[in-house]
Amino acid sequence: MNGLSGSAAVQVPSSRAVAHQPLALVHGRLVDGETFSGEPGGVLIIDGAIRDLGPDVAPRNLPSHARIIDCGGDVIAPGLIDMRAFVGEPGAEHRETIATATAAAAAGGVTTILARPDTHPPVDEPAVVDFLLRRARDTGRVRVLPCAALTQGLRGEDIAEIGLLQEAGALAFSDGAQPIRNARVLRRVLAYARDFDALVIHYAEDRDLVGEGVMNEGEFASRLGLGGIPREAEAIMLDRDIRLVNLTGARYHAALVTTTLSLDIIARAKAAGLPVTCATSINHLTLNESDIGDYRTFLKLAPPLRHEDERRALVAALASGLIDVIVSDHNPQDVETKRLPFAEAENGAIGLETMLSAGLRLVASGELSLQRLIGAMTLRPAEILRLPQGRLRIGAPADIIRFDPDEPYVLDPSKLRSRCKNTPFDEARMEGRVKLTLVAGETAYEEA
C-alpha cells in the first residue's frame, strides 16, 4: 500500500488559480540536488509545472506572451521541503497558525512543510487529517502535508490507525517530540507500519537518561550549573530503534541526530542496507552549546546543542550524505515559556524563515557545497517522502525559489513572520535573501 495519497502531494493553496500564462525565470544560476550546481540558465513554468529549464530558457526563446522575471544572476532552486515544523493548528493558535507559519516559510523559501502531529488534538484520527488539509488549502501560502501519529494520543501504548490515516492523506507517521519508550510497542508499530509501507519518523531519545538535564552534558553545563544530557541518551535509543528496524523491515527516519555516536549507528545501518534515513536540524549544524552564552533560552533545544566538535562532525556527515536531510525544527514558543530561568524554559526555536540563510553560512565557510545544502533541503526530503517536487526537472511541480546567497542583512526578529520570535539568530549577521517563492508557479512570496 503506497503512502502517497494523491490529493495531499499535489495540493495547491486554493486562494489562487493555477497560472496559465507561461512564466519564465531567466538569467539565473540553477542549483538543485541532482543536476545543477550553479550553471547559468532559467526555468519555464506553464500550468504550475516546469516545462523547460537550462541555458536555453532565455528571453530569445520564450513564447511571446510569457511573463519574464530577470533573476540578475541570483540562484534559482527548488523550493525547500521541511520535514519537521510545528504549525500550531489545531490547538496552539496562540503560538502559530498555518497562515503565519506558511508566511514565514514562503519568506524563507520553504514551499512544502511536513507538519508535526503533536497538536491538540493530535493528528491521530482521520478527521484531524481532513481538518489540516482543509485549513492548509484555505489559509496556507505553501504546501502543508500532514504527518500523523504513530501511537494513539501520542501515548506510546497503542498503534494509531495507520491505514486509515494514510488513506485520509497522511504522508508519514511520528509521535512528534515524544519517543516511544516501550520497545515492544515500537516493534509492533514498526511491523504494522511496514505492512502499509508507511514511513516511520521517530524522535530517538531515552527520557530516563535525559532526566533533569537541560543542555548538553559537559564542561560548559557544569560551569553554568545546569543539568546535563549525555549523548548516550540519543544513541542508546537510536541503537535500539535500528535493531527493531532490522527485525521488522519498516522504513525508518531518525527525526534528529545530533551526536557522533548516532552517526556511527546510522552509518552501520546504511552499510547493512537497512531502510534508514536521518535528519539534523539547521540549529545543530550552525550552532553549538557555547552559543547558549549567559543562559540564552532561545538556544535551549531538544536534543540540546552539542560541543563544537560534534557540530563539525555533523556538517561533514551532511556533506558526505550520511545525514540525508536538514530540517528547520521550527518550534514557536512565546515569551511566557521562554522568558524564564533556563531550566524552566521550554525547548525550541523557530526556523522556517531563516533556515536557508543559516545554511548558507556553511557554504560561505567552505564546509559544504551549495548543491549539497540545497539537495539536503529539497531532493532528499522529496525522495524520502516520495514527492514529485523538490527537483529542477521537466514535469516537476513549479515550486521554485530565487535567492541571492551573498546578500547580507542583520536579523530583526520583529520583522519575522512567525507569531513567535524565539530565533537563535537574534540580531545575528546573516547572508542570503530569498527574493521570490513560487508554489505550483504561483507567487507565495515576493520581496518588496
Partner 1 sequence: MLDPFQKFKFPHRHLLGIEGLSAQDIYALLDLAEEAIEVSRQVEKKRSTLRGRTLINLFFEASTRTQSSFELAGKRLGADVMNMSVATSSVKKGETLVDTAMTLNAMRPDIIVVRHAQAGAVHLLARKVDCSVVNAGDGAHEHPTQALLDALTIKRNKGRIEGLTVAICGDILHSRVARSNILLLSALGARVRAVGPSTLLPAGLDRMGVDVFRDMKTGLNGADIVMMLRLQRERMQGGLIPSPKEYFRFFGLDEEKLGYAKLDALVMHPGPMNRGVEIDSAVADGPQSRIREQVEMGVAVRMAVLDALAQHLPNG
CA distances from 162 to 23, 196, 199, 209 (A): 40, 8, 10, 30
Q: Could you confirm whether 329 is annotated as catalytic? A: yes
Q: Work out how close the CB of 153 gets to partner 1 at its nearest, in angstroms, rounded to a whole number.
A: 12
Q: Which stretch binds partner 1 (CB under 8 A): 158-166, 296-304, 339-347, 425-433?
A: 158-166
Question: What span, in angstroms and rounded, lies between the C-alpha atoms of 161 and 124?
Answer: 7
The strand ranges marked E within 47-94 are: 49-54, 67-70, 75-78, 80-85
Which residues, at least 6 apart from 366, have a Cβ–Cβ distance to it below 8 Å? none
Which residues, at least 6 apart from 365, have a Cβ–Cβ distance to it below 8 Å? none
Q: Work out how close the CB of 158 gets to partner 1 at its nearest, in angstroms, rounded to a whole number.
A: 5
Q: Are 429 and 412 contacting, i.e. CB atoms less than 8 angstroms apart?
A: no
Q: Work out how close the CB of 147 gets to partner 1 at its nearest, in angstroms, rounded to a whole number.
A: 17
For residue 158, state whether it binds partner 1 (rule: CB under 8 A).
Answer: yes
Nearest of 254, 277, 273, 268 to residue 186 by alpha carbon: 254
Q: Work out how close the CB of 193 gets to partner 1 at its nearest, in angstroms, rounded to a whole number.
A: 9
Q: Identify residues 173-202 at the interface with partner 1 (CB under 8 A).
A: 185, 188, 191-192, 194-195
Burial of 257 (0-12, 13-18, 19+ CB in 10 A): buried
Number of residues that bind partner 1 (CB under 8 A): 17
* One of 161, 232, 264, 346 touching partner 1 (CB under 8 A): 161
70 vs 158, beta carbon nearer partner 1: 158
* One of 163, 218, 227, 388 touching partner 1 (CB under 8 A): 163
Of the residues 329, 334, 399, 406, only one is catalytic, namely 329
Q: Are 398 and 53 contacting, i.e. CB atoms less than 8 angstroms apart?
A: no
* One of 2, 18, 138, 164 touching partner 1 (CB under 8 A): 164
189 vs 313, beta carbon nearer partner 1: 189
For residue 152, state whether it binds partner 1 (rule: CB under 8 A).
Answer: yes
**Interface map 237-256 toward partner 1 (x if CB under 8 A):** -----------x--------
| Pairing of β 251-254 and β 276-281 | parallel
Task: Please list the active-site residues.
Answer: 329
Q: Where does this chain bind partner 1 (CB under 8 A)? A: 1, 152, 157-164, 185, 188, 191-192, 194-195, 248
